[in-house]
Amino acid sequence: MSFKTAISVFLAYFLLFLGQAWALDVNAVRIGGHAEKERLVVELSGKSQFRAFVLQSPDRIIVDMDDFSWKVGQLSRPSVTLVKDVRFGSLGGGKGRLVIETSTPVIIKSAFAIDKANGQPNRIVVDFAKTSAAMMKEATTQQMGDMNGAAQPKNARMVAPQKDPEPQEKFSPAKAKKLIIIDPGHGGQDPGALGVNGAYEKSIVLAVGLELKKQLEKSGYRVEMTRSTDVFIPLGERVRFARKKGGDLFISLHADSISRSNVTGASVYTLSDKASDKETAKLAERENKSDLIAGIDLSHQETDVADILIDLAARDTMNQSRYLAKTVITTLDSNNVKVLDTKYRSAGFAVLKAMDIPSILVEMGYLTNREEVERLSNSAYRVRIASALKASIDKFFQKK
Ligand SMILES: [Zn+2]
């Protein structure tokens, strides 16, 4: 190779390197939506890996991608938005960062990349919504996207957003009223746990469910019940029902039994692939037996929980379910409903598998304890439990 050729090859590689290092342009950033949910669309000149997550103090959404040149003339955003400021900077190591500061705590509902098609450029889309500070804190450990590992940003610059027409991506209008799915456990040929006074779990949970429905509807919620009479509904059917109706929350109501008759108190559970403890694993086993009792063929089992949880959107739902579970526990406690344990627990409950709906299972108490089963058979106590559940739902949706 002659000296001249060597120089040319070197130059060619050098230019190629430069070209790669600065290959990506951010050509537009659009923000749109309404009070319920907003959408951030980042238009790119090419494909890029990305990751999106939230941080607090100040509240902000972070979108990391390949290092980019900022070619955005002006930010496109509606007159009313949760977005306060948009900043960007280089992270070094070939990575760039967008920082979207928000005026309230927010949670990322979904984040995805769209390849260029139909005259539209490559895009990164982040859907986010207002939430509570507590829920945002829960979400700070979650990341969406296909990029991993990056440092803190340096020399981020400020860009003042300007008013502009709505972006093209539109949202369906917000549902006027939140839809709560109440799922009274068992029913029909499956009585559930048997109380020492002869009461059935299926009857107690239906009574509480109907009371909760009444209270929720009174304060402006929509309610659908998986059953409102003494009928058997398979577990998978309850999940499908909730999804078909488009529920915003799913609450499964139960009352447990245990060999030690001195154990009392309510407990709250969420879905997980690994049970939080042995007792919860056994409880999930008991509750999942409902289908067996009715003689349903379980050879076509639903997807394993671990597989479901790979889905990032599902992880967001899990955060919300955990937040709801914690809220229910503290609210029951402060409403003089005895709780067994101040921690919520989790296991593979088949009825909690609606992965796009925050879902919890509430065991209202132990029917194997005489005092507790008598309390639960008393309508005044059931009203108290229902009020506490309603108050938790209010808190979840930040009604107060
Ligand atoms: Zn049960």
**ipTM of predicted assembly, 2 dp:** 0.99
Please check the confidence at residue 165 and state whether its pLDDT lies above 50.
Answer: no
Residue 179 clears pLDDT 90, i.e. is over it: yes
pLDDT band per the 50, 70, 90 thresholds, residue 157? very low
Distance 254 CA to ligand 1 centre (A): 4
Ligand 1 midpoint to CA 310 (Å): 27
Classify residue 11: in a domain, yes or no: no
Residue 159 has pLDDT above 70, yes or no: no
- Which structural domain, as residue segments, surrounds residue 272? 179-396
| Residue 217 and residue 81 share a domain | no
State in Å: Cα 335 to ligand 1 middle: 23
Minimum mean pLDDT range among 49-58, 155-164, 207-216, 320-329:
155-164
Whether 307 maps to a domain, the answer reads: yes
Q: Are residues 193 and 147 in the same domain?
A: no
Query: How far away, in angstroms, is 186 Cα from ligand 1 center?
Result: 6
Q: How confident is the model at residue 72 (pLDDT cuts 50, 70, 90)?
A: confident
Residue at 41 is within a domain: yes
Query: Is there a single domain that holds both residue 98 and residue 191?
Result: no
Query: Percentage helix, strand, coil, to 5, in the chain?
Result: 30, 30, 40
Same domain, 203 and 316: yes
- Of residues 202 and 155, which shows the higher confidence score? 202
Look at the chain and count its residues: 400
Residue 273 CA, ligand 1 centroid: distance in Å: 19
Query: If you measure from the C-alpha of residue 216 to the centroid of ligand 1, how many angstroms do you get, rounded to a whole number?
Result: 22
Q: Which of 203-207, 212-216, 287-291 has the lowest mean pLDDT?
A: 287-291
Residue 279 sits in the same domain as residue 133: no
Assess whether 320 and 218 both reside in one domain.
yes
pLDDT at 312: 58
Count of domains forming the chain: 2
Residue-level pLDDT at 158: 37
Q: What is the CATH number of the domain that holds 46?
A: 2.60.40.3500
Choose one of 159, 193, 217: the last residue of a domain: 159
Are 303 and 201 contained in the same domain?
A: yes
Centre of ligand 1 from the C-alpha of residue 134, in Å: 30
Please give all residues whose CB falls under 5 A of ion ligand 1, grouped by chain where several chains appear. 185, 192, 254, 287
Q: Which pLDDT does position 398 carry in this prediction?
A: 81
Q: How much distance in Å is there from the Cα of 230 to the middle of ligand 1?
A: 14
One domain for residues 155 and 190: no
Instruction: Give me ligand 1 centre to Cα 333, in Å.
Output: 21
What gap in Å lies between CA 90 and CA 86, rounded to an integer? 14
116 and 215 housed in the same domain: no
Q: How confident is the model at residue 188 (pLDDT cuts 50, 70, 90)?
A: very high
Domain presence at residue 264: yes
Locus of tokens 């409880």 = 283
Inside any domain, residue 172: no
Averaged confidence pLDDT in the chain: 81
The torsion defined by the Cα of 360, 272, 352 and 326, in degrees rounded to 10, comes to: 10
The CA 96 to ligand 1 mean position distance, Å, reads: 50
| pLDDT at residue 392 is higher than 70 | yes
CA–CA distances in Å: residue 274 to residues 268, 281, 346, 347: 16, 8, 8, 6
Each residue of 343-357: pLDDT tens digit? 779 998 988 888 789
The two three-digit tokens of residue 276, written as one number: 């939080």
* 216 domain-assigned: yes
Distance 201 CA to ligand 1 centre (A): 7
Ligand 1 centre and the CA of 178: distance in Å?
Answer: 26
Question: How far does the centroid of ligand 1 lie from the alpha carbon of residue 291, in Å?
Answer: 12
Strands 68-70 and 83-92: what pairing? unpaired
Q: Report CA(240)–ligand 1 centroid distance (Å).
A: 19
Name the percent of the chain lying above pLDDT 70: 80
In a domain, 90, yes or no: yes
In a domain, 165, yes or no: no
Higher-pLDDT residue of 161 and 48 is 48
Distance between Cα 45 and ligand 1 center (Å):
54
Please indicate, yes or no, whether residues 186 and 151 belong to a single structural domain of this protein.
no
CATH code (residue 339):
3.40.630.40
Does residue 205 share a domain with residue 154? no
Same domain, 123 and 190: no
User: What pLDDT is stored for residue 10 in this prediction?
Assistant: 63
